[in-house]
Amino acid sequence: MDNSIYNDSAPQAAECMRMALSLLGKHQIPVSPLNYRLGYDFVSGRDEKLKQNIANLIAKNQSPSNEELYAIYRDAYIYGYDLVDELRLELTSILSSVQADFEQSGINLGNYADKLTRFMGILDKNTTSDIISTEVEQVISDTRETEVAHRNMQTQLNVLSDEMNTLKRELHKVRKESLTDALTGVSNRNAFDKALDTAITKADEEQGRFAFMLLDLDHFKKVNDTHGHLVGDKVLRYVGATIKKCIKGDDIVARYGGEEFAVILHNADKQGCMAVAEQIRATVAAGVLRDKNSKKGYGQVTISIGIAEYSPNNNADELVNNADQALYRAKDNGRNRVELAA
């Protein structure tokens, strides 16, 4: 779910606000900041999963509770919260257990060292063979116990290492999923914003360059209205996968929001980016999507693309705005085309 800054125009935002308030009022939902955001994203169609979850909840309960709504909110905007909390508790438990084992081991080692010191003291005295024999038997026994304790400690350390590696994999999975768009499998807006900031910092420090493009599906609302949201999701996955195949190396593609994608091309200028953009546009347009049962086609899918090149006097917002203006020109000039920022 895209939880970063919204880029709706003033008229779009006003219309979404009117519809969101109407939705909340109709179902007697308090207009809290959290509920308003849910309502806004529901009516704007920003996230299909969120929209379906709210629709299902309203169908079940015409006036859903704040608890029910917050569960949807947390699932949409606070991804991985429960799992990270569980991992934190599990890690605390493991470390507490190992700490206790170490403390116990330390006591045993201390006792063993004391007994060896005492035995050495006996050897320095004029001690009878019977006493020495008894003490030797005791040292042997203590040595065996210490050896067992060490083996147990080694086993505990091996278990700890295995559990830490498991936790590492789970945390890596959580982090990866928190930066991935669940529908398309490409990066999400949160990951993209971080990548854009990193690219700008690197370009400024190394006097490098990179290009940026915004890509928007043409007439996507018509696809949803004609064929349904499941087909719309299929189209989004297709476009995301196509873009991913056309870029390389550490270049980044992300779902920017709704039916819009964004790409960062490292070490590329506008002309290089134009070549990649044309490849993406042509490949998307050449694809044929069909119903797997009826084999009926869904019609041609096309995208419009706007390109901007980063320059040292730009910030992230200005770069995005330049590409966005180029994208609007591509739409105005007939769609299914690429335009460069002026």
Q: What is the mean pLDDT of residues 279-288?
A: 95
Clarify whether residues 238 and 287 are in a common domain. Answer: yes
What's the CA gap between 150 and 140, in Å, rounded?
A: 15
184 within a domain of the structure (yes/no): no
The chain-wide mean pLDDT, for the chain, equals 81
Whether residues 147 and 206 share a domain: the answer is no
Domain end, chosen from 129, 148, 178, is at 178
Ordered DSSP codes for 116-164 = HHHHHHHHTS---HHHHHHHHHHHHHHHHHHHHHHHHHHHHHHHHHHHH
Clarify whether residues 322 and 256 are in a common domain. Answer: yes
Predicted confidence at residue 1, as pLDDT, reads 46
Residue 68 and residue 149 in one domain:
no
Check residues 195 and 50 and name the one with the higher pLDDT.
Answer: 195
Q: Which CATH number does the domain housing residue 168 bear? A: 1.20.58
Which of the four pLDDT bands, split at 50, 70 and 90, describes residue 277? very high
H or E element: which one contains 238? helix 229-246
In a domain, residue 47? The reply is yes
Residue 139 belongs to some domain of the structure: yes
- Output the pLDDT for position 92: 58
Most confident of 113-117, 188-192, 205-209, 281-285: 281-285
Query: Residue 293: what pLDDT?
Result: 81
Residues 289 and 219 in one domain: yes
Domain count, the chain: 3
Quick check: is 120 in a domain?
Answer: yes
Q: Are residues 238 and 328 in the same domain?
A: yes
14, 54: one domain:
yes
Assess whether 194 and 335 both reside in one domain: yes
Q: Are residues 222 and 162 in the same domain?
A: no
Q: Provide the b/e sequence for 20-47 (b: ≥16 CB within 10 Å).
A: beebbeebebeeeeebbbbbbbbbbbbb
Confidence at residue 90, expressed as pLDDT on a 0 to 100 scale = 62
Last residue of a domain, one of 148, 178, 208: 178
Span 37-44, average pLDDT: 88
301-338 residue pLDDT tens: 999 999 999 988 788 999 999 999 999 999 999 999 99
Higher pLDDT, 2 or 256: 256
pLDDT at 95 over 60: no
Asked if residue 112 is part of any domain, the answer here is yes
* Sole residue written with tokens 């290492």: 161
b/e code 186-202 from CB counts within 10 Å (16+ = b) = bbbbbbbbebbeebbee
Look at 1 and 245; give whichever has higher pLDDT: 245
pLDDT score for 3: 45
What's the CA gap between 32 and 70, in Å, rounded? 11
| Predicted confidence band of residue 213 (pLDDT cuts 50, 70, 90) | very high
Say yes or no: 298 and 232 in one domain: yes
Range of the domain at 139: 92-178
Q: What pLDDT is attached to residue 6?
A: 66
Q: Are residues 126 and 222 in the same domain?
A: no
Residue 261 lies in a domain: yes
For residue 264, the model assigns a pLDDT of 96
Considering the domain boundaries, does residue 1 fall inside one? no
Distance between CA atoms of 140 and 163, rounded to whole angstroms?
35
Residues 207 and 315 in one domain: yes
To the nearest whole percent, how much of the chain has pLDDT over 90?
31
For position 160, what pLDDT does the model report? 65
CA contacts within 13 A on the Cβ side of 264: 26
- Give the domain CATH number at 218: 3.30.70.270
Lowest mean pLDDT among 66-80, 105-119, 316-330: 105-119
Residue 265 lies in a domain: yes
Cα atoms in the 13 Å half-sphere on the side-chain side of 9: 5
Which residue type is seen at 53? N
